[in-house]
Amino acid sequence: MNYYREVKVSTGGSFEVSDITDTIRAVVGESGVLEGMAVITSLHTTCALSVNENEARLFEDISDFFLTIAPPDGSYKHNDLHLRVNIPHDEPENAHAHLVAMMLGNSEIVTVHHRALVLGRYQSILLLEMDGPRERTLAVQVLGE
Amino acid sequence: MNYYREVKVSTGGSFEVSDITDTIRAVVGESGVLEGMAVITSLHTTCALSVNENEARLFEDISDFFLTIAPPDGSYKHNDLHLRVNIPHDEPENAHAHLVAMMLGNSEIVTVHHRALVLGRYQSILLLEMDGPRERTLAVQVLGE
Amino acid sequence: MNYYREVKVSTGGSFEVSDITDTIRAVVGESGVLEGMAVITSLHTTCALSVNENEARLFEDISDFFLTIAPPDGSYKHNDLHLRVNIPHDEPENAHAHLVAMMLGNSEIVTVHHRALVLGRYQSILLLEMDGPRERTLAVQVLGE
């Protein structure tokens, strides 16, 4: 049994963490899958998915931490737009966002058991925007029985 | 075909890497799945899963490396417990553990082929505790035929 | 429905990013799966998989970034080969490669919808070699209907 749906999420800041658990839970409910898994993938290269705690002050730490490791105004070859070919006229300087996205990963897999997402008490599914604000598309696939 | 089981793992240190391959292999054996995949997820926000080498000195490097990138005594907003609401009386100061857990990820997926986990010669499934010692719960799901 | 195949990829540099999307797409085509997912796992501990943009200057940034975070000539206990037992005579000093591999992860999952990989416009499946050149083996499993 297989259920596929794309969902759109609007992000509000240049770096923003948002909780998308309810959105994914709704898709799993629609799917009718009792036992299996939900695979959530971002179709972008400058945002990421992670499972962690929805706590406002932690969200600020996440932003501070990753923007210190990969500062937006650092020196990156990808940001030398005049040296690249075939780029859109509105191409942003976002190399740091690619690097953070790679560290965090663009997909998450959550087990479905008894028709529900299996998440611990403090776990939420988080979308991490690193190059917003934008509308992002997530592919959600629920596979199982 | 779908088999779900939760397993408990006791961790021994504040930062500890342990090899859980045998535990996961046993669950795959119980499942009866011949071809498919095992999805292992931690139900916590301050430990992580990774597939890498079980080598004692590398385990020390892993601890040194991640605790240098995200020092436990760094300045984190999540650790200002007096500014947060509805927190347990025994809430630890563990922002660094959340950040390392996000970098490493809280799930792993291992292919099952010919009734066995597909792992390379030097690969083990590792549980990384960043805020122990604790008893941790892992959800293991084996999906396939 | 389940299709399993291993593919070999030769890497050319000590740190090298290469685009393996076409290889994985071919395996998905062979599999006959219409709806499901492809799981790609590296069977090694010093290379990684990621989904991000195939852009030559970004590939240089990726190399610069991760080799700065985990410098090959840093001080690592895993590299004190004389203190380890039962190691091959040609064991390399590659602790940094293990650490970077853990940050990036050794597996990727890509949704299959309408018989095709679901990837965004700028997304490619990337193999990141951190201890090459070598021949690497990837396990590709396509599961679905």
Residue A113: is its pLDDT beyond 90?
A: yes
CB contact under 8 A, C2 and B36: yes
Q: Given CB atoms, is C134 within the 8 Å cutoff of chain B?
A: no
**What ipTM was predicted for this assembly?**
0.96
Q: Which of C4, C84, C102 to mutate to test the interface with B (most CBs of B within 10 A)?
A: C102
Half-sphere exposure of C25 (CA within 13 A, CB side): 12
Contacts of B113 in chain C (CB under 8 A): 4, 139, 141
Q: Does A26 touch chain B (CB under 8 A)?
A: no
According to the model, what pLDDT value does residue A87 have? 84
| B20-78 tens-digit pLDDT | 999 999 999 999 999 999 999 999 999 999 999 999 999 999 999 999 999 999 999 99
Residue B62, pLDDT score:
98
Kindly write down the DSSP assignment for every residue of B59-116, as one continuous string: HHHHHHHHHHHS-TTS--GGG-GGG-SS--TT----HHHHHHHHHH-SEEEEEEETTE
Predicted confidence (pLDDT) per residue in C45-82, tens digit: 999 999 999 999 999 999 999 999 999 999 999 999 98
Instruction: Report the alpha-carbon distance of residue B6 to residue B26 in Å, rounded.
Output: 12
> Between A69 and C92, whose confidence is greater?
A69
Express as a percent the part of chain C with pLDDT over 90. Answer: 91
> What is the band of A109 on the pLDDT scale with cuts at 50, 70, 90?
very high
Q: Does C110 touch chain A (CB under 8 A)?
A: yes
Return the C-alpha torsion angle B58, B64, B66, B71, nearest 10.
170
Q: Amino acid identity of C64?
A: D
Among B136, B96, B74, smallest CA distance to A58 is for B96
Task: Specify the pLDDT at position B15.
Answer: 97
Cα–Cα distance for residue pair A14/A131, rounded to 1 Å: 5
Contact predicate A139/A130, CB 8 Å: no
Residue C87, pLDDT > 90, answer no
- CA gap C118, A65 in Å, rounded: 31
Asked if B7 and B43 touch (Cβ cutoff 8 Å), the reply is: no
Q: What percent of chain B has pLDDT over 70?
A: 100
Instruction: Indicate if the pLDDT at residue C18 is higher than 90.
Output: yes
Taking an 8 Å cut-off on Cβ atoms, the answer to whether B57 and C83 are in contact is yes
pLDDT value of residue B85: 81
Q: What does the pLDDT average to over A90-109?
A: 96
- What pLDDT score was predicted for residue B88? 83
Going across the sheet that includes C135-144, the strands are C2-10, C135-144, C36-42, C107-113, C116-117
Do B117 and B110 meet the contact criterion of CB atoms below 8 Å apart?
Answer: yes
Q: Round the average pLDDT of chain B to a whole number and report it.
A: 96
Mean predicted lDDT score pLDDT of chain C = 96
CA nearest neighbour of C29 among C141, C115, C139: C115
Helix residue ranges, H only, C38-83: 56-69
